[in-house]
């Protein structure tokens, strides 16, 4: 059975229809992932580690909710994950740990970032996968 990682942004994910269509054609293990940015130290020092974990978990669950609804309505089983870290690195680490052959990303990011050569999350993920020699396709 193939495993696929779907990185979910706040506000939904247009690639979920691709995942639903794929799941209807072949057995698929779907992992939904919400990556939350770490709190800056100057903010985090005012909260307990438990409060910060709870904040990230609740925020991540809220971000996953629309994607969860789409997959649930389509009858596609999935596992949900919330992780904290830098987006591209965390996506690649999760794909490796979960044994995913494919990563579905929400979008290519703002064109301005691409023009400024700052890159997109998709570009960063592809670069990290190539440098780690992971044979994982990015959609």
CA dist 97 and 33 (Å) reads 12
Residues of the chain above pLDDT 70, percent: 90
Q: What would the pLDDT profile of 35-62 be if each residue is shown by its tens digit?
A: 999 988 777 788 888 988 999 999 999 9
Q: Reading across the β-sheet that carries 78-84, which strands appear in turn? A: 78-84, 28-36, 2-7, 102-104, 137-138
Q: Across residues 13-29, what is the average pLDDT?
A: 90
Domain architecture of the chain: domains with CATH: 2-138 (3.40.50.620)
What pLDDT band is residue 115 in, cutting at 50, 70 and 90?
Answer: very low
């Amino acid at each position: 059975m193939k495993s696929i990682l779907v990185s979910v942004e706040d506000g939904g994910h247009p690639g979920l229809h691709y995942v639903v269509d794929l799941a209807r054609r072949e057995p698929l293990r779907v992992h939904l992932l919400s990556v939350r940015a770490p709190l800056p130290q100057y903010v985090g020092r005012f909260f307990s580690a438990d409060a910060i974990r709870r904040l990230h978990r609740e925020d991540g669950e809220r971000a996953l909710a629309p994607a969860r609804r789409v997959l649930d309505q389509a009858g596609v089983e999935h596992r949900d994950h919330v992780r904290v870290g830098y987006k591209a690195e965390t996506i690649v680490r999760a794909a490796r740990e979960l044994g995913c052959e494919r990563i579905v990303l929400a979008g290519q990011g703002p064109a301005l970032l691409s023009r400024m050569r700052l890159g997109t999350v998709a570009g960063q993920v592809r670069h990290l996968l190539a440098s780690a020699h992971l044979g994982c396709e990015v959609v």
